[in-house]
Amino acid sequence: MLKLNNITCSYGKVLALDDVSIHVEKGALVSILGANGAGKSSCLKAISRLLKLQAGQLLFQGNDITKSTPEQAVHNGIIQVPEGRMIFPDLTVTENLTMGAYCRKDKKEIQNDLEKMNSYFPILKDRRRQIASTLSGGEQQMLAIARGLMARPKILLLDEPSLGLAPVIVEDIFSFLLELKQAGTTILLVEQNAFMALQIADYAYVLETGKVTLEGQGKELLENERVRESYLGIKKSK
């Protein structure tokens, strides 16, 4: 569904991605791991067309989208849930969800999807008239994911969904992502919680200083000594 072929991007003179190639199959959940500053979020920004490519090619469903705009990316079904949630703080929960369907015209189906989001996240139904900024961090993250799903994404880009959340909420979020994957949603997940990400990933990439240094099936990387020591905090037994 998605191919990043040897892409290179920079912020001014600072190199963010250096000859990165990542492939995402339809219906798969692919994780991108790495430390702060490794280039994880830059990958998602490049796919969303928020970051211009200096070299390389982006293909989505076989079409070259290298020169497309962020607006075209959304219309193509590339939907990003950004780091830090980035909800509309002064709108209600329902208004935030409705904004997720901004590009859609099928009013009846939008209403059906609103009900579906309420079934996915019952707490959002309870808070539907509440101003979004008054929600807890976990509730805001649920709202951000639900808002993204309201766009009916062909691929969902998730940037650090566990950031700043309590462990029990993180488990709930990742359980839901697994359910989404099993229902056929294609997901590209950027995450620092390597253990949780690799547990549900079909495939994963490790980024270090803008380069892919390791890749493989999620379960394989869970057993990789380098990953275990660097990202899981498990030192090799003597």
Encode the chain (238 residues) as per-residue pLDDT tens digits: 999 999 999 999 999 999 999 999 999 999 999 988 899 999 999 999 999 999 999 999 999 999 999 999 999 999 999 988 899 999 999 999 999 999 888 999 999 999 999 999 999 999 999 999 999 999 999 999 999 999 999 999 999 998 888 889 899 999 999 999 999 999 999 998 888 999 999 999 999 999 999 999 999 999 888 888 888 777 665 5
Residue 75 confidence (pLDDT): 93
Residue 85 confidence (pLDDT): 84
Residue 84 confidence (pLDDT): 83
The two three-digit tokens of residue 37, written as one number = 């500053």
One DSSP character per residue, 144-178 reads HHHHHHTT--SEEEEE-TTTT--HHHHHHHHHHHH
Q: In what order do the strands lie in the sheet with 2-11?
A: 14-24, 2-11, 55-60, 63-64
Phi and psi at 91, nearest 5°, equal -100, 160
Residue 238 confidence (pLDDT): 52
- Spatial distance between the Cα atoms of 106 and 164, rounded to a whole number of angstroms: 35
Residue 231 confidence (pLDDT): 81
Residue 226 confidence (pLDDT): 87
CB 164 within 8 A of CB 83: no
CB 59 within 8 A of CB 6: no
Distance between first and last Cα of the chain:
43
Residue 192 confidence (pLDDT): 84
Say which CATH topology domain 1-77+155-161+186-238 has: Rossmann fold (3.40.50)
Which among 61, 73, 30 is positioned nearest to 187, based on CA atoms? 30
CB 63 within 8 A of CB 15: no
The two three-digit tokens of residue 221, written as one number = 């990387």
- Spatial distance between the Cα atoms of 149 and 167, rounded to a whole number of angstroms: 23
